[in-house]
Amino acid sequence: MSFQNPVFIPGPTNIPESLRKACDMPTIDHRSPLFGQILHPARASVQKILKSKCAEVFIFPSSGTGGWETALTNTLSAGDKVLAARNGMFSHRWIDMCQRHGLNVKIVETPWGQGLPADHYEEILTADANHEIKAVIATHNETATGVKSDIAAVRKALNAAKHPAMLFVDGVSSIASMDFRFDEWGVDVAVTGSQKGFMLPAGLAIVGFSKKAMEATKTGTLPRTFFDVHDMAKGYANNAYPYTPAVGLMNGLNQACDMLLREGLENVFARHYRIAEGVRAAVSAWGLELCAANPSVYSDTVSAIRTPDGFDATDIVTHAAEKYGVAFGVGLGEVAGKVFRIGHLGSLTDVMALSGIATAEMCMADLGLNIQLGSGVTAAQEYYRGHPAVAQKDAA
């Protein structure tokens, strides 16, 4: 395996040199105003990236999965009903976590490759006249299938049903890469991690709580200690944590947010869309199909690509690692062996994407798939030539 090549897994993502340096810090007193100078700006910047003016941001030494647990355990009680669709491995895992915490999950089985069924949610929520459903848990970007869901539509379904359930959104592979609107969509808890759109090593769970979610912490009785947001808030008031924070990662987060905000969020989203369109042009030139059912659900951070029947898609990933030192993502769960994934999020340029597309082509040709070398690269090149990158605004 080469450390020189970019990775094309959908997280962890490539770490820019400046962020690697930002994480590499001498020890400081993590209960001191100096730590506060890292902590408070990081929380304020995350709030901006969530497009929120009111979200309370908490940052745990953990990963995205810990963010799921933070959302559930702070706001809900055993036996509470929650509504969730299962359309991939990540939505499946969050559902599994709900069940392990004794929540009663109303699961809407959804074909892998499709988005969350907001219309069906409206029916279910309308029928729930006694408001037994306490939360809708939604995976914004299903990383296993490369499917983006319409969170605004889920909010609309809740409003149309005049239902007071909270809306929890997993934005682990969308936040900081694809448009995410905490306030406008009426999100109550947003969950992400450090190692995808934020371009950092794994190690932080990053969550935003709405006022309503903070209110729910007063009635929720699920046990919580490590992920207790009130303990955390008390620590923050004293420039500290209830335990030892990951100071270097927090410093990295601060700088990552600065980078993203300097580029401009809309420019970041446009860059991801443009790179993704090039990858999709390549897939189409190969004569292959995405797992995502139609363009309205195409993810701009990861593409899951179906390979022909009888071919094990995982072989592409193994071969790419062994022969070319390049990492792609394997298919997970129901689509294991049926798809391979190209992650295209975080610190990535069109030129880097072209190297991934070229490598995927070599692998598929090596393994006997009927792929014309250069076909996908040409399609992506044409797309990138015809759709120049948005000029970066001056940092000042």
Ligand X SMILES: *Cc1c(COP(=O)(O)O)cnc(C)c1O
Binding site for ligand X (CB under 6 A): 11, 63-65, 90, 139, 141, 143, 170, 172-173, 193, 202
Nearer to ligand X, 276 or 380 (CB): 276
Nearer to ligand X, 170 or 350 (CB): 170
Nearer to ligand X, 64 or 248 (CB): 64
Distance CA 270, CA 258 (A): 18
Distance CA 317, CA 389 (A): 29
Nearer to ligand X, 143 or 210 (CB): 143
Q: How near is the Cβ of 230 to ligand X at its closest, in Å? A: 23
Nearer to ligand X, 60 or 286 (CB): 60
Q: Could you give the 3-state DSSP secondary structure of residue 300?
A: coil
Encode 185-219: b = buried (16+ Cβ within 10 Å), e = exposed: bbbbbbbbbbbbbbbbbebbbbbbbbeebbebbee
Nearer to ligand X, 11 or 248 (CB): 11
Q: How near is the Cβ of 27 to ligand X at its closest, in Å? A: 25
Nearer to ligand X, 293 or 369 (CB): 293
Which position's Cβ is nearest ligand X?
64
Strand extents, DSSP E, the chain = 56-61, 81-86, 104-109, 133-139, 141-142, 147-148, 166-170, 189-193, 204-209, 289-290, 302-306, 329-330, 339-343
Q: How near is the Cβ of 139 to ligand X at its closest, in Å? A: 5
Q: Which two tokens stand for residue 390?
A: 């948005």
Nearer to ligand X, 10 or 376 (CB): 10
Longest dimension (CA), the chain: 62
Using the 8-state DSSP alphabet, how is residue 168 labeled? E
Q: How near is the Cβ of 250 to ligand X at its closest, in Å? A: 16
Q: How near is the Cβ of 91 to ligand X at its closest, in Å? A: 8
Distance CA 360, CA 204 (A): 31
Q: How near is the Cβ of 330 to ligand X at its closest, in Å? A: 14
Nearer to ligand X, 47 or 143 (CB): 143
Query: Which of 172, 176, 195 has its CA nearest to residue 14?
Result: 195
Q: Which two tokens stand for residue 100?
A: 């392990």
Encode 112-121: b = buried (16+ Cβ within 10 Å), e = exposed: bbbbbbbeeb
Q: How near is the Cβ of 13 to ligand X at its closest, in Å? A: 10
Q: How near is the Cβ of 135 to ligand X at its closest, in Å? A: 16
Query: Which of 286, 292, 279 has its CA nearest to residue 369?
Result: 286
Beta pairing class for 204-209 and 56-61: antiparallel
Residue 109, CA distances (Å) to 85, 194, 246 in order = 6, 29, 38
Q: How near is the Cβ of 234 to ligand X at its closest, in Å? A: 25
Q: How near is the Cβ of 301 to ligand X at its closest, in Å? A: 8
Distance CA 300, CA 323 (A): 27
Length of the chain counted residue by residue? 396
DSSP output for 74-117: HH--TT-EEEEEE-SHHHHHHHHHHHHTT-EEEEEE--BTB---
